[in-house]
Protein backbone atom coordinates (compact mmCIF):
# COMPACT_ATOMS: atom_id res chain seq x y z
CA UNK A 1 0.00 0.00 0.00
CA UNK A 2 1.02 3.60 -0.56
CA UNK A 3 -1.10 4.86 2.33
CA UNK A 4 1.98 6.16 4.15
CA UNK A 5 2.62 8.77 1.45
CA UNK A 6 1.76 12.31 2.58
CA UNK A 7 0.22 14.82 0.22
CA UNK A 8 2.93 17.15 -1.09
CA UNK A 9 2.48 20.93 -1.42
CA UNK A 10 1.77 22.46 -4.87
CA UNK A 11 4.45 24.55 -6.62
CA UNK A 12 4.09 28.11 -5.29
CA UNK A 13 4.13 29.59 -8.80
CA UNK A 14 2.45 26.94 -10.95
CA UNK A 15 -0.25 26.58 -8.25
CA UNK A 16 -1.37 30.15 -9.07
CA UNK A 17 -2.30 29.05 -12.59
CA UNK A 18 -4.37 26.19 -11.17
CA UNK A 19 -6.37 28.63 -9.05
CA UNK A 20 -6.73 31.02 -12.00
CA UNK A 21 -8.13 28.28 -14.24
CA UNK A 22 -10.88 27.52 -11.72
CA UNK A 23 -12.06 31.16 -11.68
CA UNK A 24 -14.76 31.99 -14.24
CA UNK A 25 -14.84 35.79 -13.71
CA UNK A 26 -14.62 37.64 -17.08
CA UNK A 27 -11.99 40.11 -15.82
CA UNK A 28 -9.68 37.55 -14.25
CA UNK A 29 -5.93 38.02 -14.82
CA UNK A 30 -3.07 35.55 -14.45
CA UNK A 31 0.04 37.42 -13.29
CA UNK A 32 1.58 34.32 -11.72
CA UNK A 33 3.84 32.31 -13.97
CA UNK A 34 6.56 34.06 -15.96
CA UNK A 35 5.52 33.20 -19.49
CA UNK A 36 5.27 35.83 -22.20
CA UNK A 37 1.86 36.78 -23.63
CA UNK A 38 1.15 39.14 -26.52
CA UNK A 39 -1.08 42.19 -26.13
CA UNK A 40 -4.12 40.00 -26.77
CA UNK A 41 -3.07 37.82 -23.81
CA UNK A 42 -2.11 34.90 -26.04
CA UNK A 43 1.08 32.77 -25.97
CA UNK A 44 3.46 33.98 -28.66
CA UNK A 45 5.26 31.61 -31.02
CA UNK A 46 8.08 33.65 -32.54
CA UNK A 47 8.16 34.07 -36.33
CA UNK A 48 11.85 33.15 -36.39
CA UNK A 49 10.97 29.92 -34.59
CA UNK A 50 8.12 29.11 -36.98
CA UNK A 51 10.41 29.65 -39.96
CA UNK A 52 13.12 27.46 -38.42
CA UNK A 53 10.54 24.72 -37.82
CA UNK A 54 9.43 24.91 -41.46
CA UNK A 55 13.05 24.55 -42.61
CA UNK A 56 13.59 21.60 -40.29
CA UNK A 57 10.59 19.81 -41.84
CA UNK A 58 11.79 20.66 -45.37
CA UNK A 59 15.26 19.33 -44.59
CA UNK A 60 13.70 15.94 -43.71
CA UNK A 61 16.12 15.36 -40.83
CA UNK A 62 16.08 12.02 -39.02
CA UNK A 63 15.27 11.46 -35.34
CA UNK A 64 18.38 9.56 -34.26
CA UNK A 65 19.63 9.88 -30.66
CA UNK A 66 21.72 12.93 -29.90
CA UNK A 67 25.11 12.52 -28.20
CA UNK A 68 24.91 12.63 -24.37
CA UNK A 69 25.92 16.31 -24.35
CA UNK A 70 23.47 17.22 -27.08
CA UNK A 71 23.51 18.74 -30.55
CA UNK A 72 27.00 20.17 -31.21
CA UNK A 73 25.77 22.91 -33.59
CA UNK A 74 23.35 24.04 -30.86
CA UNK A 75 25.83 24.12 -27.97
CA UNK A 76 28.36 25.97 -30.13
CA UNK A 77 25.85 28.68 -31.07
CA UNK A 78 24.47 28.90 -27.53
CA UNK A 79 27.94 29.39 -26.06
CA UNK A 80 28.69 32.14 -28.58
CA UNK A 81 25.42 33.89 -27.74
CA UNK A 82 26.26 33.91 -24.03
CA UNK A 83 30.02 34.39 -23.90
CA UNK A 84 30.36 36.51 -27.07
CA UNK A 85 32.24 35.59 -30.27
CA UNK A 86 35.41 37.29 -29.05
CA UNK A 87 35.48 35.45 -25.71
CA UNK A 88 38.99 34.20 -25.02
CA UNK A 89 38.09 30.84 -23.41
CA UNK A 90 35.57 30.25 -26.21
CA UNK A 91 38.14 30.92 -28.93
CA UNK A 92 40.65 28.72 -27.14
CA UNK A 93 38.11 25.89 -26.93
CA UNK A 94 38.26 25.80 -23.10
CA UNK A 95 34.52 25.89 -22.40
CA UNK A 96 33.01 22.54 -21.45
CA UNK A 97 29.34 22.63 -22.42
CA UNK A 98 26.36 20.34 -22.56
CA UNK A 99 22.80 20.67 -23.76
CA UNK A 100 20.35 20.46 -20.86
CA UNK A 101 16.63 20.03 -20.21
CA UNK A 102 16.11 23.80 -20.31
CA UNK A 103 17.43 26.03 -17.51
CA UNK A 104 16.18 23.82 -14.69
CA UNK A 105 17.98 20.79 -16.11
CA UNK A 106 21.12 22.90 -16.52
CA UNK A 107 20.94 23.92 -12.87
CA UNK A 108 20.46 20.28 -11.85
CA UNK A 109 23.59 19.23 -13.76
CA UNK A 110 25.43 22.21 -12.26
CA UNK A 111 24.35 21.20 -8.76
CA UNK A 112 25.33 17.59 -9.30
CA UNK A 113 28.69 18.56 -10.81
CA UNK A 114 29.55 20.94 -7.97
CA UNK A 115 28.34 18.51 -5.35
CA UNK A 116 30.64 15.79 -6.73
CA UNK A 117 33.68 17.82 -7.69
CA UNK A 118 33.82 21.26 -6.07
CA UNK A 119 36.96 20.86 -3.97
CA UNK A 120 36.34 23.32 -1.13
CA UNK A 121 32.87 22.78 0.34
CA UNK A 122 29.30 21.76 -0.46
CA UNK A 123 27.58 25.08 0.22
CA UNK A 124 25.93 27.27 -2.38
CA UNK A 125 24.88 30.87 -1.65
CA UNK A 126 21.57 32.04 -3.14
CA UNK A 127 20.13 35.56 -3.17
CA UNK A 128 17.26 36.58 -0.86
CA UNK A 129 14.83 36.24 -2.50
CA UNK A 130 15.34 33.91 -5.44
CA UNK A 131 13.35 31.70 -7.82
CA UNK A 132 11.74 29.12 -5.52
CA UNK A 133 13.03 26.14 -7.45
CA UNK A 134 16.71 27.04 -6.89
CA UNK A 135 16.62 25.78 -3.31
CA UNK A 136 14.98 22.50 -4.26
CA UNK A 137 17.27 21.86 -7.22
CA UNK A 138 20.48 22.42 -5.29
CA UNK A 139 19.32 20.48 -2.23
CA UNK A 140 18.35 17.58 -4.48
CA UNK A 141 21.88 17.72 -5.85
CA UNK A 142 23.37 17.25 -2.40
CA UNK A 143 24.43 20.85 -1.81
CA UNK A 144 23.60 22.89 1.27
CA UNK A 145 21.98 26.22 0.50
CA UNK A 146 23.04 29.45 2.19
CA UNK A 147 21.73 32.96 1.55
CA UNK A 148 23.10 36.35 0.65
CA UNK A 149 21.38 39.74 0.84
CA UNK A 150 20.18 41.09 -2.48
CA UNK A 151 16.96 43.09 -2.22
CA UNK A 152 16.26 46.16 -0.12
CA UNK A 153 12.63 46.50 0.91
CA UNK A 154 12.88 50.18 1.78
CA UNK A 155 13.86 51.14 -1.78
CA UNK A 156 12.46 48.16 -3.70
CA UNK A 157 15.97 48.09 -5.21
CA UNK A 158 19.35 46.39 -4.83
CA UNK A 159 20.90 45.97 -1.38
CA UNK A 160 24.36 46.50 -2.81
CA UNK A 161 26.07 47.04 0.55
CA UNK A 162 24.44 43.93 2.02
CA UNK A 163 25.43 41.89 -1.04
CA UNK A 164 29.06 43.04 -0.76
CA UNK A 165 29.15 42.37 2.99
CA UNK A 166 27.82 38.85 2.55
CA UNK A 167 30.42 38.16 -0.14
CA UNK A 168 33.09 39.33 2.30
CA UNK A 169 31.67 37.36 5.21
CA UNK A 170 31.21 34.02 3.41
CA UNK A 171 34.08 31.57 3.95
CA UNK A 172 36.74 31.82 1.22
CA UNK A 173 36.05 29.72 -1.89
CA UNK A 174 32.29 29.64 -1.45
CA UNK A 175 29.96 29.00 -4.39
CA UNK A 176 27.75 31.99 -5.29
CA UNK A 177 24.75 31.45 -7.54
CA UNK A 178 24.00 34.71 -9.32
CA UNK A 179 21.16 35.67 -11.66
CA UNK A 180 22.95 36.91 -14.79
CA UNK A 181 20.19 39.36 -15.72
CA UNK A 182 16.50 40.12 -15.11
CA UNK A 183 16.58 38.79 -11.53
CA UNK A 184 13.59 36.60 -10.66
CA UNK A 185 11.48 37.55 -8.69
CA UNK A 186 12.67 41.11 -8.00
CA UNK A 187 13.43 42.55 -11.45
CA UNK A 188 16.43 44.24 -9.81
CA UNK A 189 19.88 43.90 -11.42
CA UNK A 190 23.20 45.49 -10.46
CA UNK A 191 24.40 48.30 -12.74
CA UNK A 192 27.50 47.68 -14.92
CA UNK A 193 29.64 49.59 -12.40
CA UNK A 194 28.22 47.45 -9.57
CA UNK A 195 28.91 44.26 -11.56
CA UNK A 196 32.53 45.43 -11.98
CA UNK A 197 32.82 45.84 -8.21
CA UNK A 198 31.11 42.51 -7.50
CA UNK A 199 33.49 40.73 -9.86
CA UNK A 200 36.47 42.22 -8.05
CA UNK A 201 35.23 41.41 -4.55
CA UNK A 202 34.13 37.87 -5.44
CA UNK A 203 37.56 37.28 -7.00
CA UNK A 204 39.29 38.66 -3.93
CA UNK A 205 37.50 36.12 -1.74
CA UNK A 206 38.21 33.22 -4.13
CA UNK A 207 34.48 32.51 -4.52
CA UNK A 208 33.13 30.49 -7.43
CA UNK A 209 30.34 32.16 -9.46
CA UNK A 210 27.60 30.05 -11.02
CA UNK A 211 25.45 32.25 -13.27
CA UNK A 212 21.85 31.38 -14.05
CA UNK A 213 20.85 33.10 -17.29
CA UNK A 214 17.19 32.38 -17.95
CA UNK A 215 16.33 35.73 -19.55
CA UNK A 216 19.10 36.81 -21.94
CA UNK A 217 17.55 39.58 -24.04
CA UNK A 218 14.51 39.97 -21.83
CA UNK A 219 16.00 42.58 -19.51
CA UNK A 220 17.07 45.21 -22.02
CA UNK A 221 15.91 43.81 -25.36
CA UNK A 222 19.59 43.42 -26.28
CA UNK A 223 21.26 40.01 -25.85
CA UNK A 224 24.77 41.51 -25.63
CA UNK A 225 23.80 44.06 -23.02
CA UNK A 226 22.16 41.35 -20.90
CA UNK A 227 25.35 39.27 -21.06
CA UNK A 228 27.38 42.09 -19.50
CA UNK A 229 27.85 40.43 -16.11
CA UNK A 230 29.04 37.07 -17.33
CA UNK A 231 31.36 38.57 -19.96
CA UNK A 232 32.84 40.97 -17.41
CA UNK A 233 33.46 38.16 -14.90
CA UNK A 234 35.07 36.03 -17.62
CA UNK A 235 37.22 38.95 -18.79
CA UNK A 236 38.33 39.43 -15.17
CA UNK A 237 39.59 35.85 -15.14
CA UNK A 238 36.78 34.09 -13.25
CA UNK A 239 36.35 30.56 -14.59
CA UNK A 240 32.59 30.69 -14.21
CA UNK A 241 29.87 28.11 -14.63
CA UNK A 242 26.71 29.07 -16.50
CA UNK A 243 23.24 27.76 -17.15
CA UNK A 244 21.17 29.03 -20.08
CA UNK A 245 17.49 28.68 -20.90
CA UNK A 246 15.82 29.31 -24.25
CA UNK A 247 12.34 29.07 -22.73
CA UNK A 248 11.76 32.82 -22.49
CA UNK A 249 13.93 34.46 -25.12
CA UNK A 250 12.84 32.07 -27.88
CA UNK A 251 9.45 31.21 -26.45
CA UNK A 252 10.44 27.52 -26.37
CA UNK A 253 9.03 26.78 -22.90
CA UNK A 254 7.79 23.27 -23.57
CA UNK A 255 10.66 22.30 -25.87
CA UNK A 256 13.01 22.23 -22.84
CA UNK A 257 16.21 23.53 -24.37
CA UNK A 258 19.13 24.98 -22.44
CA UNK A 259 22.78 24.46 -21.55
CA UNK A 260 25.23 24.00 -18.70
CA UNK A 261 28.78 25.15 -19.27
CA UNK A 262 31.92 25.66 -17.26
CA UNK A 263 35.22 27.29 -18.17
CA UNK A 264 38.28 25.12 -17.74
CA UNK A 265 41.94 25.99 -17.52
CA UNK A 266 43.17 23.72 -20.31
CA UNK A 267 41.93 21.39 -23.03
CA UNK A 268 42.94 18.43 -20.88
CA UNK A 269 40.88 19.73 -17.96
CA UNK A 270 37.96 20.38 -20.28
CA UNK A 271 38.02 16.81 -21.58
CA UNK A 272 37.96 15.44 -18.03
CA UNK A 273 35.10 17.75 -17.05
CA UNK A 274 33.06 16.74 -20.10
CA UNK A 275 33.66 13.08 -19.36
CA UNK A 276 32.24 13.61 -15.85
CA UNK A 277 29.29 15.62 -17.15
CA UNK A 278 28.45 12.63 -19.35
CA UNK A 279 28.60 10.34 -16.31
CA UNK A 280 26.12 12.64 -14.56
CA UNK A 281 23.68 12.81 -17.48
CA UNK A 282 23.81 9.19 -18.62
CA UNK A 283 21.97 7.65 -15.63
CA UNK A 284 19.51 10.60 -15.41
CA UNK A 285 18.08 10.74 -18.95
CA UNK A 286 20.73 9.26 -21.27
CA UNK A 287 20.62 12.05 -23.84
CA UNK A 288 18.53 15.18 -24.46
CA UNK A 289 15.58 15.79 -26.81
CA UNK A 290 16.44 16.91 -30.33
CA UNK A 291 13.71 19.22 -31.56
CA UNK A 292 14.20 22.37 -29.49
CA UNK A 293 17.97 22.26 -29.91
CA UNK A 294 17.52 22.06 -33.68
CA UNK A 295 15.20 25.05 -33.65
CA UNK A 296 17.67 27.16 -31.65
CA UNK A 297 20.61 26.11 -33.81
CA UNK A 298 18.70 26.98 -36.99
CA UNK A 299 17.72 30.39 -35.64
CA UNK A 300 21.17 31.29 -34.30
CA UNK A 301 23.14 30.07 -37.33
CA UNK A 302 21.01 31.63 -40.10
CA UNK A 303 21.80 35.37 -40.38
CA UNK A 304 18.28 36.30 -41.53
CA UNK A 305 16.53 34.27 -38.82
CA UNK A 306 18.99 35.52 -36.21
CA UNK A 307 18.21 39.11 -37.11
CA UNK A 308 14.47 38.47 -37.07
CA UNK A 309 14.80 36.77 -33.66
CA UNK A 310 16.70 39.72 -32.16
CA UNK A 311 13.88 41.96 -33.37
CA UNK A 312 11.29 39.73 -31.73
CA UNK A 313 13.20 39.61 -28.42
CA UNK A 314 13.24 43.39 -28.49
CA UNK A 315 9.53 43.47 -29.29
CA UNK A 316 8.74 41.27 -26.27
CA UNK A 317 11.01 43.30 -23.98
CA UNK A 318 9.51 46.56 -25.24
CA UNK A 319 5.93 45.43 -24.71
CA UNK A 320 6.81 44.61 -21.12
CA UNK A 321 8.36 48.06 -20.64
CA UNK A 322 5.25 49.68 -22.14
CA UNK A 323 3.06 47.79 -19.65
CA UNK A 324 5.27 48.95 -16.76
CA UNK A 325 4.86 52.57 -17.87
CA UNK A 326 1.10 52.26 -18.29
CA UNK A 327 0.60 50.54 -14.95
CA UNK A 328 2.50 53.26 -13.13
CA UNK A 329 0.77 56.01 -15.12
CA UNK A 330 -2.72 54.75 -14.26
CA UNK A 331 -1.85 54.28 -10.58
CA UNK A 332 -0.41 57.74 -10.16
CA UNK A 333 -2.23 59.91 -12.71
CA UNK A 334 -5.66 58.27 -13.01
CA UNK A 335 -6.18 56.97 -9.50
CA UNK A 336 -3.95 59.41 -7.65
CA UNK A 337 -2.15 56.79 -5.58
CA UNK A 338 -0.04 58.55 -2.98
CA UNK A 339 2.65 55.87 -2.99
CA UNK A 340 5.78 55.91 -5.09
CA UNK A 341 5.46 53.36 -7.87
CA UNK A 342 8.81 54.22 -9.43
CA UNK A 343 10.04 50.69 -8.81
CA UNK A 344 7.51 49.42 -11.37
CA UNK A 345 9.49 51.18 -14.10
CA UNK A 346 12.93 50.93 -12.47
CA UNK A 347 12.77 47.14 -12.19
CA UNK A 348 13.44 45.17 -15.37
CA UNK A 349 12.67 41.88 -17.10
CA UNK A 350 9.60 39.73 -16.76
CA UNK A 351 8.71 40.62 -13.17
CA UNK A 352 7.76 43.48 -10.89
CA UNK A 353 8.33 42.86 -7.21
CA UNK A 354 5.46 45.10 -6.24
CA UNK A 355 5.89 45.38 -2.49
CA UNK A 356 2.27 44.27 -1.96
CA UNK A 357 1.92 42.30 1.28
CA UNK A 358 0.23 38.87 1.54
CA UNK A 359 -3.08 40.41 2.73
CA UNK A 360 -3.14 42.78 -0.23
CA UNK A 361 -2.33 39.90 -2.59
CA UNK A 362 -5.20 37.95 -1.04
CA UNK A 363 -7.59 40.81 -1.69
CA UNK A 364 -6.41 41.14 -5.29
CA UNK A 365 -7.19 37.48 -5.81
CA UNK A 366 -10.50 37.30 -3.92
CA UNK A 367 -12.01 40.70 -4.76
CA UNK A 368 -10.48 41.46 -8.16
CA UNK A 369 -9.71 38.00 -9.61
CA UNK A 370 -6.11 39.11 -10.17
CA UNK A 371 -3.83 36.11 -9.57
CA UNK A 372 -0.21 36.48 -8.46
CA UNK A 373 2.23 34.84 -6.07
CA UNK A 374 2.03 35.55 -2.31
CA UNK A 375 5.31 37.48 -2.37
CA UNK A 376 3.66 40.21 -4.44
CA UNK A 377 5.51 39.35 -7.63
CA UNK A 378 3.68 40.46 -10.79
CA UNK A 379 4.46 38.77 -14.09
CA UNK A 380 4.26 41.85 -16.29
CA UNK A 381 3.91 39.68 -19.39
CA UNK A 382 0.40 38.80 -18.22
CA UNK A 383 -0.74 42.45 -18.50
CA UNK A 384 -2.20 43.88 -21.74
CA UNK A 385 -3.47 47.25 -22.99
CA UNK A 386 -7.03 46.11 -22.35
CA UNK A 387 -6.61 45.19 -18.67
CA UNK A 388 -3.78 47.38 -17.35
CA UNK A 389 -6.15 50.05 -16.09
CA UNK A 390 -8.29 47.47 -14.30
CA UNK A 391 -5.14 46.17 -12.62
CA UNK A 392 -4.06 49.67 -11.59
CA UNK A 393 -7.46 50.30 -10.05
CA UNK A 394 -7.34 47.00 -8.19
CA UNK A 395 -3.85 47.71 -6.83
CA UNK A 396 -4.88 51.21 -5.86
CA UNK A 397 -7.95 49.92 -3.99
CA UNK A 398 -6.01 47.34 -1.97
CA UNK A 399 -3.21 49.78 -1.07
CA UNK A 400 -5.19 52.94 -0.26
Which stretches of the chain bind ligand TYF, using CB under 6 A?
A: 11, 13-14, 33-34, 131, 133, 184
Residue 267 interacting entry, from ligand TYF, ligand PLP, none, C-beta within 5 to 8 Å by type: none
Q: How far is CA 199 from the centre of its chain?
A: 20
DSSP string, 239-262: --EEEEE-TTTS--GGG-EEEEEE
Which among 36, 99, 53 has a CA at the least distance from the CA of 299?
A: 53
Q: For residues 240 and 237, what is the distance between their CA atoms, to the nearest angstrom?
A: 9
Residue 398 interacting entry, from ligand TYF, ligand PLP, none, C-beta within 5 to 8 Å by type: none
Minimum distance, C-beta of residue 85 to ligand TYF, in the bound complex (Å): 28
| 3-state helix, strand and coil shares in percent for the chain, rounded to the nearest 5 | 50, 15, 35
Minimum distance, C-beta of residue 380 to ligand TYF, in the bound complex (Å): 11
Contacts with ligand PLP, residue ranges (CB under 6 A): 34, 102-104, 131, 179, 184, 212, 214, 245, 247, 258
Using CB atoms, what's the residue nearest to ligand TYF? 34
- Which residue among 166, 189, 212, 375 is the active-site one? 212
- Known catalytic membership, residue 131: yes
Give the start-end residues of each E strand in 105-185.
123-128, 144-149, 151-152, 157-158, 175-179
Q: For residues 161 and 166, what is the distance between their CA atoms, to the nearest angstrom?
A: 9
Angular region, 346: left φ>0, alpha ψ -120 to 50, beta rest: alpha
- Which residue among 51, 131, 226, 309 is the active-site one? 131
Minimum distance, C-beta of residue 118 to ligand TYF, in the bound complex (Å): 25
Minimum distance, C-beta of residue 12 to ligand PLP, in the bound complex (Å): 13
- Known catalytic membership, residue 76: no
- Known catalytic membership, residue 2: no
Q: What is the DSSP letter of 7?
A: P
3 state SS of 302:
coil
For residues 68 and 365, which CB has a smaller minimum distance to ligand TYF in the complex?
365
Residue 212 interacting entry, from ligand PLP, ligand TYF, none, C-beta within 5 to 8 Å by type: ligand PLP
Q: What is the DSSP letter of 265?
A: S
Minimum distance, C-beta of residue 363 to ligand TYF, in the bound complex (Å): 22
Q: Are 341 and 332 in contact (CB under 8 A)?
A: yes
For residues 83 and 215, which CB has a smaller minimum distance to ligand PLP in the complex?
215
3 state SS of 371:
strand
Residue 14 interacting entry, from ligand TYF, ligand PLP, none, C-beta within 5 to 8 Å by type: ligand TYF
* Residue 210 β-bridge partners: 177, 241
Q: Are 340 and 328 in contact (CB under 8 A)?
A: no
For residues 13 and 229, which CB has a smaller minimum distance to ligand TYF in the complex?
13
For residues 214 and 348, which CB has a smaller minimum distance to ligand PLP in the complex?
214
Residue 81 interacting entry, from ligand PLP, ligand TYF, none, C-beta within 5 to 8 Å by type: none
For residues 14 and 284, which CB has a smaller minimum distance to ligand TYF in the complex?
14
Q: To 10 degrees, what angle do helices 388-399 and 358-368 make?
A: 130
Which positions are catalytic? 131, 212, 248
Amino acid sequence: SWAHIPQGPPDAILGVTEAFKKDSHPKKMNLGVGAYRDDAGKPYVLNAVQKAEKKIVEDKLNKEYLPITGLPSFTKEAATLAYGADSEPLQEGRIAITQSISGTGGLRIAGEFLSRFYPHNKKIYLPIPTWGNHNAVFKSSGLETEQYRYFKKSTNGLDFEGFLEDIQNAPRNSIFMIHACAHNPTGVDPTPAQWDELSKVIKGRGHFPLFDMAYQGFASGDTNHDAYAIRKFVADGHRIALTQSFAKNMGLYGERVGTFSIISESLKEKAAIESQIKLIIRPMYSNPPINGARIVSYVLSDPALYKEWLGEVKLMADRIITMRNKLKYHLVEDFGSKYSWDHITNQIGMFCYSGLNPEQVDRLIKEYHVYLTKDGRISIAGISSSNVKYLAEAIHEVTR
